[in-house]
Structures are given as C-alpha cells and as structure tokens.
C-alpha cells in the first residue's frame, strides 16, 4: 500500500466526569503500518480507540485520510472504513461463523437483498475464511469457537467489512503461544494491504510483530518509534519498571503485567 | 480488498453441504399440515360455537406472530401490542358501526344517538365510512404509530425494561383515553353489537364460518411472511442486533433501523389481528386493549417459545384457550395465574415449550459427560 497518513490524531482529549483519560494525544499512523499501542493500565489506550471509533465524545481532531471523524456516529465511521475489535471477543454467538461474516460484509446491502435468504457464500467471505483458517468451522455457531478462534473471526469480520484501518484491542490476550504466533502472522499478512493498530500488553508479541510502537502513559504519548528505539527510551523503562536501568534483553521475558484495562 | 501479495493458499470456494431432502421438506410439510388442520379439519370437527372461539384465539395467534418477530428474534419486549391491536380493531369497528347505521337508515351509530352531543358525525369518523379506507387504516394506522414511536425510542437507545414499560404505558394511555371519550368512542363499553361484515350478517352461522376462514388464512399467510423474514439476511441481522447491538453498530449498520422494521411489522400484524377480532367476536373495547391484554399477547409467545414461530402461535392459542376455560371456573384467579405463567416461562424456560426438547437433550448430554465439559 502506498504511503501517506491513514490516521492523524491531534490534541485529542477525552474527559469522564472530570477525569481526563486522554490528555492531548498527537498520533500519526502511516498507511500500511502495523502500529502497536502499549502502555500501563489506565494509560488511555482503549479510550483512544473508543474516541476514534465514535464510542466516546472527544475534543481535538481525528482525521482519516481527509475526513474528520469526531462528531460522526459510530456506524458512519465504520462505513468509512474503520473497524475495531474489543478486549473481549464479541461475535454473534447464536449465529454461525458464516453468518457472522456475511453480516459483517453486508452494511451496504439494499433492502431487497436483505429480505431474501442468503444463497451461497460471498467471495470476500470465502477469502476471509481462508485467511483466518476458519473454513472448516464455517457452519459452527460462533459461541462454540475457542477463544482464539473468536478473535480470528473478529479479524475476519473486519476484512469482509472492507475496512482500510483495523483497530485491535488486545487481540492475543488469553491465547496460547501457538495461537499468538498464528495471530501475529495473520496480522502481518493483513497489514500488507491494510493499516493495523494493535493495543497490546504482551511485550514478546509486540517485539516479534510491531513495525512501529507508540507508548501511552497517563493519557499522553510518551514515546514513539521502532521497537528498539522505544525500548531504549529511559522514560519508557521508568514507566514500565519504575527504574531507569536497561530492563531486559530481547531473549529474557519481560516482567510486564498482562492484564485487563479498567 | 483482501488480495495479498503473498500467494494465498488455493482459494477453494466454501459451499455448505446440500441440505438433505427430508430436511428441506420439513417446513413445507409442517405448513401444509397446519393448513389442513386449520382450514379442513377444524371447521369439520368443531361446532359453530367452538369454531367462533377458535377464530378469536387465532386472532391472538396473529399478534403472536409479530411478537415472535419483534421479541423472539429482535429482543424487543413488546408489552404494548394492545395499542396496535386496538387501533386496528377500532378502525374496523368504526367502519362496521357506520355500515350498520347506514343499513338501518340512520345517520349515527347507536351509541352516539344515546351519548352523543350533537347529530353530526365527528369529522374523524367520516372517512371510515369508506370500506377501503377503513381496511387500509387497520394496518397503516398501527404501523405509522409504531414507526413514529420506534423512531423516537430506538434512536435514543431506549431498550430493555425501559422500552417494555414505555410500550406498556402507551397501552394504558390509549385505553384510558378511549374510556374518556364516551360520546365518540363508546367509552368503557367500546364499540359493541356489530351486526354486519361488509354486507354479510354476522348472525348467520355460515358467515361466522366465513370469518373464521378469513382469519385462518390471514394467520397462515402472515406465518409465511414471518418465516421469510426469519430466514432472510434481515432475520440474521435482527438476531445479531438482539445479541450484541453495539457490535452491529461497529459493522456499519444502524441498529435502530433494524429494530424499527421488526417493531413496525409486528404492529401491522397486531392491527390486522384487532381488525379481524371485531367480526369474530362482535366487540372492541378499552378492556380488550389495555395493560392486561397487552401482557396476555406476549404470554402465549413466551410459553410456546418466542423465538420459534410455531411455538409462539401454538402457545398463544393454548393460553387463550386456557384463559377462557379457567376464567369461567375461577373468574378472579386468572390474572394471578397469567402473571405466574409469564414469570415462570421467562424465568425458567426462556425458549418456551418449543425449547423443551433441546433443553432435555442438553441436560442429558451434560449428565453423561458428568461435568467434564469446559466452556469458556
């Protein structure tokens, strides 16, 4: 995908009853990037994504291409080509994998198509089943999928939704090592023709797959750059470990909290 | 859009396995069986009196078809269907009263001569003299009211119990308003003593049977319509909205519109049911459309299985039958029994009787695997 800015956030602020969750964030994501957003619990990562996708009110500016997103309703932003997942996989448990994907593909369908029965499988749904490796489970109710498979289904839903920017909130939380590797490879494939932003707590995962990293702390961007640059930043080390020494090498597992965000 | 530069593993089109013939014939044959029962066997086997009762129950079943769509599939607890039933019923009854009056050479319906303030027909009664207008209004009026109400309510994201209470309050409001308008709506008595139905005398048992056939046919047609909505893409989307409204929003849909369609269609069905109830029973009154009957409309669906079309219809018929049987024996006890039934069905068997088989099967499965199953 060509360069240029996919997402330009400037001076973004989100306040809940006097508590400032996002406090003047400036952030630019290039087209085709695989950006990781990291930071301690309560840093404002999820709130940032909520603001971009229209779930919470915010001030400042969020531009997607040339268009301002703030003030637009959730479904309009989704139709512009921005998709997101949530910390807890939210798929339609009562529906099959295939139905989930078909619904995700259908926001632009006319009334006549909607009132008829689904016949066959749309091409992009077939492709998403392939990419996410869920083809064999297409007729399975989504509620019966394993945790990791639900996350993959969600990513598949974003693909058929025809989004250009994917915002993924802790996609590998609770996954086994193999599932993390598979998810990382999936994200790399997806980022070849999409822009991907990942909120993550898992530092190993981040090191293996991030193309660029932004560190958020207390509602602000603390540091930004490649994995190596960010790791070398003393401010980041301080925030994460409470000390200003070289925290770890790539080979030793980082003592980083993995957990849910408030 | 998802073309990757790296060669994707051979894209084999995913095709669901063809459904076996028996499975494909299941629905048409069940429908045919229902049609034979309703249109063939029931009229032969039942006395005029019993058939007239069945006609009344089938009107409730028509409401239940809409409830099954809006509540069963859409998750909208429509506790105020009496409003739409009433609008349809009154639209039909107004026309029939005017036609009765015209037959006997009078200008005004009987109750207006007794309680009315003048000798002129209220302006809003006048168009109902036209049979086509009145017929159209039995469906259009409830749908229009539902569309306005739904538009206001769903956009503001009112849902769950708040939506249920709101719809219930509306049912109370309409019936109270009607009671207050003695001179123009018949007040508490409602519109009673309806003699004819588009030129046919309702005293004639043959015409009563005709009314039964019309009602049964409408029920079957609306079940077909609802079934089409259930299996359509819209039906899948409606279930998705019921289960996770926010998620649907992030896929680019406006869930308010999805719910609005189900609500409006259910209102139209309730209106038609109310309209057919009038010739079948000969009366429409505030007591038939207020809070208690509005709850009654959803109980049948709850007991039979709100997400299952056939379950909801059979449940509505069964509960209506139980009501007329039991309320004869225990006139005061029915309301309590009705409430109990509702609580038990919603609390302990949310899928209704239609889900008994699945529940039993799952329980058997759970006991044989002796709790070794781990669900995330």
pTM score: 0.86
Secondary structure (3-state) at B294:
helix
What number is the average pLDDT over the span B110-135?
Answer: 88
pLDDT tens column, A13-45: 999 988 889 999 999 999 989 999 998 888 899
Contact A118 B233 (CB under 8 A): yes
Quick one: which of A3, A110, A14 has its CA closest to A53? Answer: A14
Residue A236 lies in a domain: yes
What number is the average pLDDT over the span A244-253?
Answer: 43
Alpha-carbon distance A73 to nearest alpha carbon in chain B (angstroms): 9
| B25 confidence band (pLDDT: 50, 70, 90) | confident
Residue A70 lies in a domain: yes
Residue B207 lies in a domain: yes
Residue A203 lies in a domain: yes
Tell me the average pLDDT of chain B. 88
Alpha-carbon distance A200 to nearest alpha carbon in chain B (angstroms): 21
What pLDDT is recorded for position B16?
54
Q: Are A97 and A137 in contact (CB under 8 A)?
A: yes
What is the percentage of chain B residues whose pLDDT exceeds 90? 61
What number is the average pLDDT over the span B278-305?
Answer: 92
Residue B140 lies in a domain: yes
Judge whether residue B53 has pLDDT over 50.
yes
Residue B2 lies in a domain: no
What number is the average pLDDT over the span A151-168?
Answer: 93
pLDDT tens column, B26-35: 888 889 999 9
Alpha-carbon distance B376 to nearest alpha carbon in chain A (angstroms): 7
Instruction: Mutation target for B interface from A103, A125, A128, A162: give the one with most B CBs within 10 A.
Output: A103
Q: Which residue among A83, A108, A159 places its CB closest to the CB of B250? A: A83
Q: Which residue among B8, B15, B252 places its CB closest to the CB of A121? A: B15
Here the CATH number for the domain that contains residue A35 is 3.40.50.300
What number is the average pLDDT over the span B127-135?
Answer: 95
Residue A35 lies in a domain: yes
Range of the domain at B210: 32-350
Counted domains in chain A: 1
**Count of CB pairs separated by less than 8 Å, A with B:** 122
Residue B227 lies in a domain: yes
Residue A253 lies in a domain: no
Q: Are B310 and B30 in contact (CB under 8 A)?
A: yes
Range of the domain at A111: 5-241
Cα B345 off chain centre by: 18
Judge whether residue B6 has pLDDT over 70.
no
Q: Which residue among B4, B11, B232 places its CB closest to the CB of A192? A: B4
Residue A60 lies in a domain: yes
| B3 confidence band (pLDDT: 50, 70, 90) | very low
The ipTM (two decimal places) reads: 0.83
Q: Are A166 and A33 in contact (CB under 8 A)?
A: no
B39 touches chain A (CB under 8 A): no
Bridge partner residues of A220 (DSSP): A217
Residue A58 lies in a domain: yes
Q: Which residue among A99, A113, A129 places its CB closest to the CB of B14? A: A129
Judge whether residue A246 has pLDDT over 60.
no
Residue A248 lies in a domain: no
Residue B285 lies in a domain: yes
Quick one: which of A195, A229, A194, A233 has its CA closest to A217? Answer: A233
Contacts of B250 in chain A (CB under 8 A): 53, 74-75, 78, 83-84
Counted domains in chain B: 1
What number is the average pLDDT over the span A217-239?
Answer: 88
Judge whether residue B178 has pLDDT over 70.
yes
Contact B248 A138 (CB under 8 A): no
What number is the average pLDDT over the span B277-296?
Answer: 93
What pLDDT is recorded for position B369?
53
Judge whether residue B370 has pLDDT over 50.
no
What pLDDT is recorded for position A238?
83
| A108 confidence band (pLDDT: 50, 70, 90) | confident
What pLDDT is recorded for position A15?
92
What pLDDT is recorded for position B371?
41
Give all strands of the β-sheet with A67-68 in edge-to-edge order: A19-30, A5-16, A59-64, A67-68
What is the Cα–Cα distance from B39 to B61, expressed in whole angstroms? 15
Residue B24 lies in a domain: no
């Amino acid at each position: 995908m060509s360069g240029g800015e996919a997402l330009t956030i400037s001076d973004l602020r989100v306040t809940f009853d006097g508590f400032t969750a996002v406090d003047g964030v400036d952030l630019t994501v290039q087209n085709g990037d695989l950006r990781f957003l990291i930071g301690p619990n309560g840093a404002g990562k999820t709130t940032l994504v909520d603001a971009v996708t229209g779930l919470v009110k915010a001030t400042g500016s969020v531009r997607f291409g040339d268009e301002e997103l703030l003030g637009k309703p959730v479904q309009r932003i989704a139709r512009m080509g921005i998709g997101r997942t949530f910390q807890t996989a939210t798929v339609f448990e009562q529906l099959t994998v295939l139905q989930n994907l078909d619904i995700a593909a259908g926001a632009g369908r006319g009334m006549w198509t909607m009132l008829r029965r689904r016949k066959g499988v749309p091409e992009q749904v077939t492709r998403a089943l392939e990419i996410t490796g869920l083809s064999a489970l297409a007729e399975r109710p989504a509620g019966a999928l394993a945790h990791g498979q639900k996350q993959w289904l969600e990513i598949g839903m974003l693909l058929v939704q025809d989004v250009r920017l994917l915002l993924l909130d802790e996609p590998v939380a609770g996954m086994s090592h193999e599932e993390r590797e598979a998810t990382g490879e999936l994200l790399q494939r997806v980022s070849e023709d999409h822009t991907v932003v990942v909120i993550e707590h898992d530092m190993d995962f981040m090191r293996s797959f991030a193309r660029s990293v932004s560190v958020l702390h207390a509602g602000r961007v603390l540091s930004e750059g490649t994995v190596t640059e960010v790791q070398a930043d003393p401010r980041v080390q301080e925030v994460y470990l409470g000390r200003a020494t070289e925290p770890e090498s790539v080979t030793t597992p980082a003592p980083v909290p993995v957990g849910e965000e408030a | 859009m998802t073309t990757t530069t790296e060669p994707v593993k051979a894209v084999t089109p995913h095709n669901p396995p063809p459904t076996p013939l028996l499975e494909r014939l299941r629905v048409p044959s069940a429908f045919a069986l229902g049609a034979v029962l309703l249109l063939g066997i029931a009229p032969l086997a039942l006395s005029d009196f019993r058939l007239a009762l069945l006609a009344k129950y089938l009107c409730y079943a028509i409401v239940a078809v809409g409830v099954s769509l809006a509540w069963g599939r859409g998750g909208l607890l429509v506790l105020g269907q009496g409003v739409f039933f009433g609008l349809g019923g009154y639209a039909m009854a107004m026309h029939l009263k005017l036609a009765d009056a015209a037959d006997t050479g009078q200008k005004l319906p009987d109750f207006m001569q007794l309680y009315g303030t003048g000798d002129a027909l209220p302006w809003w009664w006048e168009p109902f003299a036209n049979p086509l207008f009145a017929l159209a209004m039995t469906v259009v009026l409830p749908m229009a009211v539902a569309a306005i109400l739904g538009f206001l309510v769903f956009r503001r994201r009112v849902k769950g119990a708040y939506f249920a209470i709101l719809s219930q309050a509306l049912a109370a409001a309409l019936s109270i308003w009607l009671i207050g308008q003695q001179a123009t709506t018949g007040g508490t008595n409602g519109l009673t003593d309806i003699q004819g139905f588009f030129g046919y005398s309702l005293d004639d048992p043959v015409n009563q049977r005709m009314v039964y056939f019309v009602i049964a046919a409408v029920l079957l047609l609306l079940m077909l319509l609802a079934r089409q909505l259930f299996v359509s893409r819209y039906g899948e989307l409606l279930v998705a909205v019921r289960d996770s409204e926010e998620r649907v929003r992030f896929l680019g849909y406006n869930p308010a519109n999805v719910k609005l369609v189900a609500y409006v269609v259910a209102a139209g069905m309730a209106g038609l049911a109310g309209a057919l109830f009038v010739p079948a029973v000969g009366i429409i009154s505030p007591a038939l459309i207020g809070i208690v009957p509005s709850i009654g409309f959803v109980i049948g669906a709850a007991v039979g299985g709100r997400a299952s079309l056939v379950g909801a219809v059979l449940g509505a018929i069964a509960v209506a039958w139980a009501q007329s049987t039991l309320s004869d024996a225990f006139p005061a006890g029915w309301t309590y029994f009705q409430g109990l039934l509702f609580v038990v069905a919603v609390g302990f068997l949310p899928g209704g009787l239609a889900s008994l088989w699945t529940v039993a099967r799952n329980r058997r499965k759970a006991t044989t695997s002796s709790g070794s199953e781990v669900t995330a």
